[in-house]
Amino acid sequence: MILTLTLNPSLDRTIEIAALDRGAVIRAAAAHLDPGGKGVNVSRALLANAVASRAVVPFGGDEGRQLVRLLAEEGLDMVTVPVAGPTRSNVTLAEPDGTVTKINEPGTALAQDELDTIADAVLEAAHSGDRGADWVVASGSLPPEVPADVYASLCRRFAGAGIHVAVDTSGPALSCALGAAPALVKPNAEELSAATGMPIRCVGDVVEAAATLRAAGARAVLASLGGDGAVLVGPDGIWYGEAPVAEPRSSVGAGDAMLAGFLAGGGRGPGALAQALAWGAAAVRLPGSRMPGPADIDPGAVTVGSPDPARRLSSPALPSPPAPALP
């Protein structure tokens, strides 16, 4: 079983528009309201493909109750943890060419006792039922005021209970988590660049940056590169793969579908990378943050092999310049 933990879940409204015209009145072609949050999406993708999963979901306020209601309607196996603050709402504007504009609320703070209750809920869920959890996915942004080392603390606690931990986050939370030796981290190109301070212009840069994350503690790195595919760097080797999408509709949740496919495919090696790419590409072909099922997934569109270090990325990532010194 694969457990997921989302500290900052959301209600995600995706609005399809012809074009984003600032200052204008824009009429939507379609709109979708979906439960959101990276770990929630991983569990939804696993559910859509009949892979055993359970989501641990903190929730609060009217938005939180609606989130739980939507997840229950989908039939998601979940453990809900009431918290004081309201669940956030996010808005995505999706254009026909695949351009996505996201407006994400920050969420509300979690007190230390709430974080402790959530961690206890994960461990209880991991050891309940006929089969324990093989993986815990700790993913997504942190709510305001939550310490940056929270994923590192959770990783040590879960790994100490014999569970593999996958971390999908960014910024200081990712940097702190590396020191806790997670079994897997799943950065995108921008997150790789920010974590290492390296420019990511080609596949060779991705491999070098992923090796840097491994040297800092991560045992394996699955680097998602959007339309450029993905790179897997782990103890068993290095692989590159891609799954082109002719008509993208929405990239929202595609990285989460990719991570779900990777873990469902065994969590290591080229076979898992191929399944990850197939699930991620299928998500891009769907509207909103819908998760793909078997009928949406085309394994034949995936190619996996040795990386070509010189291959250029269509969307390079550069580290942010340092902030100017204060006078």
**Strand, helix or coil at 11?**
strand
Sheet containing strand 221-224, strands side by side: 78-82, 53-59, 2-6, 135-139, 164-168, 184-185, 221-224, 230-234, 237-242, 303-305
CB of 4 within 8 A of CB of 35?
no
> Residue 211 sits in a domain of what CATH number?
3.40.1190.20
> Whole domain around residue 55: which residue ranges?
2-315
Question: In this structure, is residue 327 part of a structural domain?
Answer: no
Does some domain include residue 126?
Answer: yes
Q: Does residue 322 lie in a domain region?
A: no
pTM: 0.90
Residue 326 lies in a domain: no
Asked whether residue 281 is assigned to any structural domain, the reply reads yes
Is pLDDT at 325 greater than 70 in this prediction?
no
Q: Is the pLDDT of residue 116 over 50?
A: yes
Ramachandran assignment for 253, one of left (phi > 0), alpha (psi -120 to 50 degrees), beta (any other): left
**160-210 pLDDT tens trace:** 999 999 999 999 999 999 999 999 999 999 999 999 999 999 999 999 999
Reported as a single tens digit per residue, the pLDDT across 50-80 is: 999 999 999 999 999 999 999 999 999 999 9
Residue 7: name the closest of 114, 104, 157, 91 by CA: 114
How many domains would you assign to the chain?
1
Single out the catalytic residue among 168, 228, 256, 296.
256
- Classify residue 320: in a domain, yes or no: no
Q: Exposed (0-12), middle (13-18) or buried (19+): which is 309, by Cβ within 10 Å? A: middle
Domain presence at residue 237: yes
* 205 carries an active-site annotation: no
Give the contacts of 52 (CB within 8 A, at least 6 positions apart): 1, 2, 46, 77, 131
Which among 67, 51, 69, 47 is positioned nearest to 59, based on CA atoms? 67
Tell me how far apart the alpha carbons of residues 83 and 54 are, in angstroms, rounded to a whole number.
19
Q: Looking at the domain assignment, is residue 324 inside a domain?
A: no
- Across the strands, what pairs with 80? 57
pLDDT at position 34: 87
Give the separation between CA 16 and CA 226, rounded to whole angstroms: 20
- Name, of 123-127, 228-232, 284-288, the range with top average pLDDT: 228-232
Report yes or no: 71 and 35 within 8 Å, Cβ to Cβ.
yes
- The closest of 183, 14, 6, 2 to 91, measured between CA atoms, is 14
